[in-house]
Structure 1
């Protein structure tokens, strides 16, 4: 159940209101339930493969897709890939042995690719509310385990609603990483989605997700439009709302990774949207232990993470090169120190061989994905990047 653009008929006056519904079993309005049902019907009944897309929903990643990820994608079964409708690339670094949860896993393409990257001692769980998509993903478990040379499956797919993962049997603090590929914007209750992600993450865990954001709050009348909701437009958060919700729930401030503009290639939709702008952006949020120490200092990347042997681009603001000392603020120090990255860096606190001048240089942090998308406009497209093709989108 991943984000696409392209309803066969533009029923522009259809209603779909946003409600705060955590699951179909909760006491929420019938309109909220209808949101789930409409999305399930579209992804389950209408779309058969990526060729059914009518406009450009797939957004080319704004940085090159590493070879190890491309290699893993080539091993995913063709039927699984052909039913992929994502809007970004949700592959964080340092994945070996990790437990990963995919919110809105659809046909399972991202899950199977990640199951290769976490290795036989890691595990990937996909949760999706669309029966047809879950059926496709389960169909190829044995195929991929044989393809990867695993003695037993390291993937599980469950039916469920991302607003209430407990109903699907997903326990507290049970995952290292949560991912989502353009699904949260389709939910009628985004706070519940992020709150559930926080609940199931271990201390030091992160949610790494791609989604659609607006440059300002979407007007209520647009939220009532079924087509625009299905187009991943009217359900989009403004990027500033994400920061407020993350703080409210307890996550560290979102860290922007990539951002690209979404182009709406339909005159009727353009007229309705007006001056609103939308981007597909990837953010990473961390669940930090409450007792973690806040320090400024220098960190040195040890090198060797798969696909990032010489350097790791942690977000749009920080790239760490092997063996090179980098000044970081208190927040990033806490993230690196308490997460799965802790063994990948050397830490030099302020006062242990570092001068205050070295460690306290203030860096301008880019938070606005529209600013980043503007910066990317005039850059050449990265090589070896594909979006929608015979094998689906990446």
Structure 2
């Protein structure tokens, strides 16, 4: 362990070394943290059968960050690694869409690039819709990407590696189109971890050392303008390494999938008398659409919603799925959240009151 606190530059070098030299495939991982627990949908499973085996073995993600309605979208994958998720997204966006993978590690970019043509042929595309860029997720403004040019930003167990997560969030906010979505899976802790864990390259590389206390991430997201953070999936991680687990001091780690929207939302869930009705016109979800852990919409059923939720489903690409009744002009006070409909991170929302992060935490 190096007792000198790492600088951002040194941290980036350490992560590049870990993912470029130390790890050759997922079997080299020292823990089970950088492994996926969230089961993909049947549609994603079908696409995964078409991904090259070598690319599968270079996958170190902790979730399945593939939101619906991506046909024709421009999607940015932060920390794309060996490119597995980018190639899945290539199929989901179709030939009219674009996928851009960004990673700091030259070896990962070169590896991913070597499989572009293979997957173009597998998916039957005339031209590849995937490109890879080497760059740091803390400096997205230095990439050749125009502001407000991205429909959806995804990431899979990468943002935790950054020492300056506020810079990552600020960069994403600049690149997203108005109404755009961030949908990502990452590792979070149930408390603030000991600072010395940040000094251990192994523990950092295993997605632990710089993992944020979940509530601290919410605060960072709100400061970046994402006032309502929604949780869509959560699972407790096993470490499978007693020596590393002992250093956590009893802290628990979770893989959590989140969605954030670039729009003018409030920092609390407020009642404006609005109702949402899901049309059932998403092919993979004909009976029920799940927005987050506290908002599931049965087809044809009128559901009272706070204004944040109404805006999320009416001012994003999801607007084709819903009818929203009510103009949102008259205020009726704080919106009382119901019981979460899927497992979530424990917050005030679990006891029926909207917490600072909104209905979906």
TM over 0.5: yes
Deviation, 1:223, is 2.1
Q: Is the 8 A contact 1:16 1:224 kept in 2?
A: yes
Is it true that 1:231 corresponds to 2:206 in the alignment? yes
Q: Is the 8 A contact 2:271 2:305 kept in 1?
A: no
- What number of residue pairs does the alignment pair up? 343
Moved over 6 A (4+): none
Partner of 2:359: none
Partner of 1:378: none
Partner of 1:336: 313
Distance in 1, matches of 2:335 and 2:206, equals 44
Which residues of 2 match residues 72-91 of structure 1 at below 5 A?
72-91=47-66
Question: Larger RCO: Structure 1 or Structure 2 (Cα < 8 Å, ≥ 6 residues apart)?
Answer: 1
Distance in 2, matches of 1:160 and 1:34, equals 15
| Aligned mate of 1:310, from 287, 310, 315 | 287
Structure 1 residues 210-232: Cα deviation after superposition (integer angstroms, max 9, x where no partner) = 11111111222222222221221
Is it true that 1:33 corresponds to 2:21 in the alignment? no
Deviation, 1:345, is 0.6
Partner of 1:325: 302
Distance in 2, matches of 1:175 and 1:248, equals 21
RMSD of equivalent CA atoms: 2.7
Structure 1 residues 172 and 137: alpha-carbon distance in aligned structure 2, compared to 1, 3 A threshold: same
Deviation, 1:312, is 1.6
Partner of 2:87: 112
Deviation, 1:365, is 5.7
Is it true that 1:218 corresponds to 2:206 in the alignment? no
| TM-score (normalizing by structure 1) | 0.81
Deviation, 1:108, is 0.6
Match of 2:275, SS state, is strand
Structure 1 residues 335-362: Cα deviation after superposition (integer angstroms, max 9, x where no partner) = 111111111111111799xxx8xx9664
| TM-score (normalizing by structure 2) | 0.88
Deviation, 1:199, is 0.7
Distance in 2, matches of 1:198 and 1:221, equals 31
Q: Is the 8 A contact 2:231 2:257 kept in 1?
A: yes
Partner of 2:25: 49
Match of 1:258, SS state, is strand
Match of 2:174, SS state, is helix
Partner of 1:254: 229
Structure 1 residues 178-237: Cα deviation after superposition (integer angstroms, max 9, x where no partner) = 001000111111100111011100000111111111111122222222222122112011
Partner of 2:357: none
The unaligned stretches of length 5 or more in structure 1 are: 1-12, 19-30, 376-394
Partner of 1:69: 44
Is it true that 1:267 corresponds to 2:268 in the alignment? no
